[in-house]
A and B are shown apart, each in its own frame.
Chain A
Amino acid sequence: EDQVTQSPEALRLQEGESSSLNCSYTVSGLRGLFWYRQDPGKGPEFLFTLYSAGEEKEKERLKATLTKKESFLHITAPKPEDSATYLCAVQAMGETSGSRLTFGEGTQLTVNP
């Protein structure tokens, strides 16, 4: 069974204080690992897809990296508007149901001004 574990559950940062969120996964062959941002009362917003170990992707203050067992979402000099819940999800190879994703429980990030 595919599993995704995110840590920490919650993280409070001061504006400008860089940090990283962790996503550990076990999957029977990784097809893709996804990062989403979710604001309260909203659906998840796509951030990144990573496909193979060693891959990195960046978008503004966010950078996602991938190894064979985990992924990190690095946040550089965060701003209050980066406050949200960040979700990690995996898609297994050979999925017969389209793009069925298994989600972690998320990390709730709060950036104080």
Chain B
Amino acid sequence: GAVVSQHPSRVICKSGTSVKIECRSLDFQATTMFWYRQFPKQSLMLMATSNEGSKATYEQGVEKDKFLINHASLTLSTLTVTSAHPEDSSFYICSARDGLDEKLFFGSGTQLSVL
């Protein structure tokens, strides 16, 4: 099956710093990638939809200036959490759709802890 690689798997940072998370589709071209956030024992909440070469579409309540998304190529999307605060601590997961398939493939997730 298709593989989506996400890095880093875990990051700890100080409050006020910015953190970048990368999501790569390894064996297919992903015109659309999705970024989710998941709190412990809760479901995945869609944050934004990232389309290659255009601006991301953010879900209601998600601050676009706080969560910067760049989808610069057909295989790479990045999420930058700017000026992170403890309330941004969460599990962030990216996913990508193989254009030939309806299925979404997920990365392994990034656990962000902001001190």
Contact residues of A with B, CB < 8 Å?
A: 32, 34, 36, 41-46, 49, 87, 89, 91, 97-106, 108
Contact = CB atoms under 8 A, between A and B. Distances in A.
Q: Secondary structure of the B side of the interface?
A: strand
Interface of B: 1, 4, 6, 31-32, 34, 41-46, 49, 51, 57, 91, 93, 95, 97, 102-109, 111
B102 A103 contact: no
A98 B97 contact: yes
Nearest to B110: A43
B43 A106 contact: yes
A43 B103 contact: no
A41 B46 CA distance: 18
Contact of A43 (B31, B42, B107): B107
Nearest to A106: B43
